[in-house]
Amino acid sequence: MATKVIITSKKLEEEARPLECVDAGGVFNIFAGEDVSIPDGHVYKVKTGISVGIPKGYVARVYSVTPDGKLDISKCLLEIKHGNVNELIVPVFNPSVFWKKDVKTGDLIARLIVTSEEISFAGDFEECEPDEDDASEAPDAEASHKSLELLKKWGNKAG
Protein backbone atom coordinates (compact mmCIF):
# COMPACT_ATOMS: atom_id res chain seq x y z
CA MET A 1 0.00 0.00 0.00
CA ALA A 2 1.34 3.41 -0.99
CA THR A 3 1.98 6.06 1.63
CA LYS A 4 0.11 9.34 1.09
CA VAL A 5 2.12 12.53 0.70
CA ILE A 6 0.53 15.92 1.47
CA ILE A 7 1.44 18.81 -0.82
CA THR A 8 -0.10 22.10 0.31
CA SER A 9 -1.01 25.07 -1.83
CA LYS A 10 -2.58 28.39 -0.86
CA LYS A 11 -3.97 31.18 -3.01
CA LEU A 12 -2.37 34.48 -2.00
CA GLU A 13 -4.31 36.59 -4.49
CA GLU A 14 -8.04 36.40 -5.25
CA GLU A 15 -7.46 36.16 -9.02
CA ALA A 16 -4.70 33.54 -8.72
CA ARG A 17 -5.42 30.19 -10.32
CA PRO A 18 -4.63 27.23 -8.02
CA LEU A 19 -2.29 24.42 -8.97
CA GLU A 20 -4.05 22.03 -11.36
CA CYS A 21 -3.37 18.33 -10.81
CA VAL A 22 -2.43 16.68 -14.08
CA ASP A 23 -1.09 13.28 -13.02
CA ALA A 24 -1.63 11.34 -9.77
CA GLY A 25 2.07 11.06 -8.97
CA GLY A 26 2.45 14.77 -8.30
CA VAL A 27 2.36 16.59 -11.65
CA PHE A 28 0.74 20.04 -11.51
CA ASN A 29 0.14 22.83 -14.01
CA ILE A 30 1.29 26.28 -12.85
CA PHE A 31 -0.45 29.41 -14.09
CA ALA A 32 0.58 33.06 -14.30
CA GLY A 33 -0.78 35.34 -11.60
CA GLU A 34 -0.06 38.55 -13.48
CA ASP A 35 -0.05 40.07 -16.97
CA VAL A 36 3.46 40.56 -18.35
CA SER A 37 5.05 41.46 -21.70
CA ILE A 38 8.50 39.88 -21.96
CA PRO A 39 10.83 41.51 -24.51
CA ASP A 40 12.56 39.28 -27.06
CA GLY A 41 15.49 37.32 -25.64
CA HIS A 42 14.66 38.19 -22.01
CA VAL A 43 13.64 36.32 -18.87
CA TYR A 44 10.96 37.60 -16.51
CA LYS A 45 10.11 36.17 -13.09
CA VAL A 46 6.34 35.71 -13.30
CA LYS A 47 4.34 35.76 -10.07
CA THR A 48 1.79 32.97 -9.62
CA GLY A 49 -0.13 34.31 -6.62
CA ILE A 50 0.15 30.93 -4.84
CA SER A 51 2.34 29.43 -2.14
CA VAL A 52 3.35 25.78 -1.95
CA GLY A 53 4.53 23.43 0.78
CA ILE A 54 6.63 20.36 0.06
CA PRO A 55 7.05 17.69 2.80
CA LYS A 56 10.44 16.56 4.12
CA GLY A 57 12.05 13.92 1.92
CA TYR A 58 10.47 15.32 -1.25
CA VAL A 59 11.47 17.80 -3.90
CA ALA A 60 9.44 19.84 -6.41
CA ARG A 61 10.95 20.66 -9.77
CA VAL A 62 9.43 23.34 -11.97
CA TYR A 63 9.77 22.71 -15.71
CA SER A 64 9.14 24.94 -18.67
CA VAL A 65 6.26 24.25 -21.05
CA THR A 66 6.21 24.84 -24.79
CA PRO A 67 3.72 27.33 -26.28
CA ASP A 68 1.34 24.42 -27.03
CA GLY A 69 1.44 23.20 -23.39
CA LYS A 70 3.92 20.33 -23.68
CA LEU A 71 6.35 19.68 -20.86
CA ASP A 72 9.89 20.72 -21.77
CA ILE A 73 12.03 18.38 -19.67
CA SER A 74 15.21 20.00 -20.94
CA LYS A 75 14.42 23.16 -18.96
CA CYS A 76 14.20 22.70 -15.19
CA LEU A 77 13.55 26.27 -14.09
CA LEU A 78 13.89 25.76 -10.35
CA GLU A 79 14.01 23.12 -7.66
CA ILE A 80 12.26 23.38 -4.31
CA LYS A 81 13.59 21.16 -1.54
CA HIS A 82 11.15 20.32 1.24
CA GLY A 83 9.67 23.33 2.99
CA ASN A 84 7.36 26.22 2.20
CA VAL A 85 7.62 28.81 -0.56
CA ASN A 86 5.85 32.07 0.34
CA GLU A 87 5.02 32.80 -3.30
CA LEU A 88 5.94 30.61 -6.22
CA ILE A 89 7.69 32.80 -8.81
CA VAL A 90 8.56 31.16 -12.12
CA PRO A 91 11.22 32.42 -14.56
CA VAL A 92 9.72 32.58 -18.07
CA PHE A 93 12.02 33.03 -21.07
CA ASN A 94 11.09 34.61 -24.40
CA PRO A 95 13.40 32.94 -26.94
CA SER A 96 12.10 34.95 -29.88
CA VAL A 97 14.28 37.63 -31.40
CA PHE A 98 11.35 39.08 -33.37
CA TRP A 99 8.50 39.88 -30.94
CA LYS A 100 7.58 40.24 -27.31
CA LYS A 101 5.88 37.42 -25.44
CA ASP A 102 2.63 38.35 -23.73
CA VAL A 103 1.73 36.35 -20.64
CA LYS A 104 -1.77 36.85 -19.25
CA THR A 105 -3.12 36.02 -15.80
CA GLY A 106 -4.25 32.39 -15.89
CA ASP A 107 -1.92 31.33 -18.74
CA LEU A 108 -0.11 28.01 -18.33
CA ILE A 109 3.55 28.88 -17.69
CA ALA A 110 5.14 25.74 -16.21
CA ARG A 111 4.68 22.28 -14.68
CA LEU A 112 5.60 21.33 -11.13
CA ILE A 113 6.60 17.70 -10.51
CA VAL A 114 6.88 16.45 -6.92
CA THR A 115 8.87 13.30 -6.14
CA SER A 116 11.00 11.83 -3.42
CA GLU A 117 14.46 13.39 -3.36
CA GLU A 118 15.94 10.23 -4.88
CA ILE A 119 13.48 9.93 -7.77
CA SER A 120 12.84 12.17 -10.73
CA PHE A 121 9.21 11.35 -11.66
CA ALA A 122 6.21 9.45 -10.21
CA GLY A 123 2.77 7.82 -10.96
CA ASP A 124 -0.73 9.26 -11.66
CA PHE A 125 -2.63 12.12 -9.99
CA GLU A 126 -6.36 12.73 -9.78
CA GLU A 127 -7.82 16.10 -10.68
CA CYS A 128 -7.96 18.57 -7.79
CA GLU A 129 -7.82 22.25 -6.96
CA PRO A 130 -5.90 22.78 -3.72
CA ASP A 131 -6.52 26.01 -1.82
CA GLU A 132 -5.77 27.36 1.64
CA ASP A 133 -8.17 24.94 3.32
CA ASP A 134 -7.42 21.85 1.23
CA ALA A 135 -4.33 19.73 0.58
CA SER A 136 -3.64 17.40 -2.31
CA GLU A 137 -2.75 13.82 -1.53
CA ALA A 138 -0.32 12.02 -3.80
CA PRO A 139 0.94 8.44 -3.63
CA ASP A 140 4.47 8.00 -2.32
CA ALA A 141 7.39 7.22 -4.58
CA GLU A 142 6.24 3.59 -4.70
CA ALA A 143 4.33 4.60 -7.83
CA SER A 144 7.51 5.89 -9.46
CA HIS A 145 8.65 2.66 -11.09
CA LYS A 146 7.20 4.10 -14.28
CA SER A 147 9.29 7.27 -14.01
CA LEU A 148 10.89 7.02 -17.43
CA GLU A 149 7.60 6.23 -19.13
CA LEU A 150 5.96 9.26 -17.47
CA LEU A 151 8.88 11.43 -18.46
CA LYS A 152 8.36 10.40 -22.08
CA LYS A 153 4.55 10.72 -21.77
CA TRP A 154 4.56 14.27 -20.39
CA GLY A 155 7.45 15.33 -22.59
CA ASN A 156 5.38 14.53 -25.68
CA LYS A 157 1.81 15.30 -24.61
CA ALA A 158 0.01 18.60 -24.32
CA GLY A 159 -1.63 19.21 -20.94
> pLDDT tens-digit profile of 44-73?
999 999 999 988 888 899 998 887 788 887
DSSP 39: P
- Assessment of whether the complete model's pTM goes beyond 0.85: no
> In the predicted model, is pLDDT for residue 108 greater than 90?
yes
Share of the chain above pLDDT 70, in %: 70
Domains detected in the chain: 4-127+136-155 (2.70.40.10)
Neighbours of 68 (CB within 10 A): 8
78-82, 83-87, 130-134: which range is least confident on average?
130-134
Distance CA 95, CA 3 (A): 41
Quick one: CA torsion of 45, 15, 54, 143, rounded to 10 degrees?
-100
3-state secondary structure of 84: strand
